[in-house]
């Protein structure tokens, strides 16, 4: 009979067994193909816009349908050809990566393209849209069935300029994954866990990992406080960081202050949840989760949502930098620290992952 994978409670695969993987654990294999497909499709769309086609997503448009991207507003004849060339290079680079080709300077050029593409598409071009949709996701789910209150509909929330940025964001994630897999393969590392054969990891001391993780979490918590404090202050009538006129305008706008207060509360709750990355209840389900009490928490349960939040916070913070005005610092000033929050949360999440990853199912190291 063929071997089947048998695992212990720690996740270690028995010798000679064939590891069983879920589809998402195969990201080093399929992310490269999807990155090439994304580049080909978005490149074709960019060429269409460059030739005068409709729907260019960074053109000047009515404020209610615009975005805060660094590429907006811009002219299709100026930017679309650059996007098309950028994507064409991505197709070539992606194919070379999939074939594990490239040594020396060529390898460095492929890695440079991949990391620049991933960073630009994920962090620099998008705005705060993903963060806003994440914060309001419970309400949006309700709105699908009930409709949006007031003279609006879902089209006023999910319009093309904003939807395009989500497509760009997904492309960035694919390029980050594809480039990381290529870098590990060409370095002789395990593409699934990043460990090098017969080489001790640089981050193996759990005490050291927890110490640095605690510092990253506290930095993330501190970066949330200015936003929380200003929004709560506005709700109680104190114009902290804004003019009296702007506060009066918000008071006269139905539910505006309540929404700000809700966002401040959500941010505070996020600060509390981040402590799970360094606390015991982030590793074993606590008593207040009675249906799983005492069971070990799978690392992905914390790593996936925390990592996603960390990534979407950074574009929102960078957008706030572009819109900052000293005379009304309370509007966008605290949001600048979202970038710090995202970096710190990302670091804390990575350290949590290193501390809890255990034995790799594919290379049996750990």
pLDDT per residue as tens digits for the range 188-210: 888 877 777 765 555 667 888 89
DSSP code string of 248-295: HHHHHSTTHHHHHHHHHHHHHHHHHHHGGGTSGGGTB--TTSTTTTTP
Only one residue has tokens 């990253």, namely 216
Predicted TM-score (pTM) of the model is 0.87
Q: What confidence score (pLDDT) does residue 14 get?
A: 42
Residue 296 β-bridge partners: 284
**Is 273 buried (19+), middle (13-18) or exposed (0-12) by CB count in 10 A?**
middle
Picking from 285, 276, 327, the residue whose alpha carbon sits closest to that of residue 305 is 276
- In this structure, how many other beta carbons lie within 10 angstroms of the beta carbon of residue 223? 23
CA angle (181 as vertex; 363, 198 as ends), nearest 5: 35
Picking from 79, 89, 132, the residue whose alpha carbon sits closest to that of residue 113 is 89
Q: What confidence score (pLDDT) does residue 328 get?
A: 86
- Read off the pLDDT of residues 36-61 as tens digits, 9 standing for 90 and up: 999 999 999 999 999 999 999 999 88
Picking from 171, 180, 194, the residue whose alpha carbon sits closest to that of residue 115 is 180
Q: What number of residues does the chain have? A: 366
Q: What confidence score (pLDDT) does residue 190 get?
A: 82
**C-alpha 118, offset from chain centre:** 11
Q: What confidence score (pLDDT) does residue 73 get?
A: 92
Any residues with CB less than 8 A from the CB of 307 and at least 6 apart, and which?
Answer: 346, 349
Rg, C-alpha atoms of the chain: 23
Coil, strand, or helix at residue 125? Answer: coil
Q: What confidence score (pLDDT) does residue 198 get?
A: 63
- Backbone angles phi and psi of 122, in degrees to 5: -90, -40
Distance CA 266, CA 46 (A): 38
Peptide bond preceding 12 in cis form (omega within 30 of 0): no
Distance CA 170, CA 137 (A): 18
Encoding tokens for residue 316?
A: 């929102």
Q: What confidence score (pLDDT) does residue 71 get?
A: 94
Q: What confidence score (pLDDT) does residue 17 get?
A: 44
- In this structure, how many other beta carbons lie within 10 angstroms of the beta carbon of residue 146? 9
Any residues with CB less than 8 A from the CB of 212 and at least 6 apart, and which?
Answer: 347, 351
Distance CA 86, CA 303 (A): 31
Contact 221, 277 (CB under 8 A): no
Only one residue has tokens 């404090």, namely 229
pLDDT in single tens digits along all 366 residues of the chain: 334 343 333 333 444 444 455 667 788 889 999 999 999 999 999 999 999 999 999 998 887 788 889 999 999 999 999 999 999 999 999 999 999 887 889 999 999 999 999 999 999 999 998 998 888 777 777 776 766 666 666 666 788 999 999 999 999 999 999 999 999 999 888 887 777 776 555 566 788 889 999 999 999 999 999 999 999 999 999 999 988 998 998 888 887 888 888 888 888 888 889 999 999 999 999 888 889 888 999 998 999 999 999 999 999 999 999 888 888 898 889 999 999 999 999 999 999 999 988 887 777 776
Please give the sequence-ordered ranges of beta strands (E in DSSP) within 220-328, or none if there are none: none
First to last CA, the chain: 29
- In this structure, how many other beta carbons lie within 10 angstroms of the beta carbon of residue 285? 17
- In this structure, how many other beta carbons lie within 10 angstroms of the beta carbon of residue 259? 17
Picking from 137, 129, 140, 134, the residue whose alpha carbon sits closest to that of residue 162 is 129
Picking from 248, 296, 252, 254, the residue whose alpha carbon sits closest to that of residue 150 is 254
């Amino acid at each position: 009979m063929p071997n089947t994978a048998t695992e212990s409670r720690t996740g270690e695969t028995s010798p000679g067994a064939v590891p069983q993987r879920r589809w998402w654990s195969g990201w080093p294999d399929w992310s490269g193909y999807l990155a090439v497909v994304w580049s080909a499709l978005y490149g074709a769309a960019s060429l269409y816009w460059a030739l005068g086609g409709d729907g260019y997503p960074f053109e000047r448009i009515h404020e209610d349908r615009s975005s805060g991207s660094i590429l907006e507003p811009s002219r299709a004849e100026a930017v679309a050809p650059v996007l098309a060339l950028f994507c064409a290079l991505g197709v070539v680079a992606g194919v070379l990566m999939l074939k594990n080709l490239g040594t020396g300077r060529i390898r460095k050029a492929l890695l440079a393209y991949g990391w620049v593409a991933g960073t630009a598409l994920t962090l620099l071009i998008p705005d705060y849209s993903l963060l806003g949709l994440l914060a309001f996701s419970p309400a949006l789910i309700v709105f699908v069935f009930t409709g949006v209150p007031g003279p609006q509909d879902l089209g006023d929330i999910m319009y093309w300029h904003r939807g395009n940025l989500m497509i760009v964001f997904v492309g960035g994630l694919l390029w980050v994954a594809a480039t990381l897999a290529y870098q590990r393969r060409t370095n002789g590392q395990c593409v699934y866990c990043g460990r090098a054969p017969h080489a001790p990891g640089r981050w193996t001391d759990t005490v050291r990992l927890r110490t640095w993780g605690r510092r990253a979490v506290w930095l993330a918590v501190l970066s949330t406080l200015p936003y929380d404090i200003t929004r709560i202050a506005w709700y109680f009538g104190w114009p902290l960081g804004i003019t009296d006129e702007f506060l009066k305008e918000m008071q006269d706008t139905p539910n505006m202050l309540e929404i700000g207060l809700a966002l401040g509360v959500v941010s505070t709750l996020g600060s509390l949840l981040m402590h799970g990355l360094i606390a015991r209840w982030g590793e074993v389900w606590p008593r207040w989760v009675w249906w799983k009490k005492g069971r070990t928490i799978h690392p992905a349960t914390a790593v996936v949502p925390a990592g996603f939040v960390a990534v979407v916070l950074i574009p929102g913070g960078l957008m706030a930098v572009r819109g900052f005005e000293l005379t009304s610092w309370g509007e966008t000033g605290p949001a600048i620290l979202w970038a710090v929050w995202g970096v710190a949360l990302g670091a804390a999440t990575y350290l949590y992952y290193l501390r809890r990853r255990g034995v790799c199912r594919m290379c049996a190291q750990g």
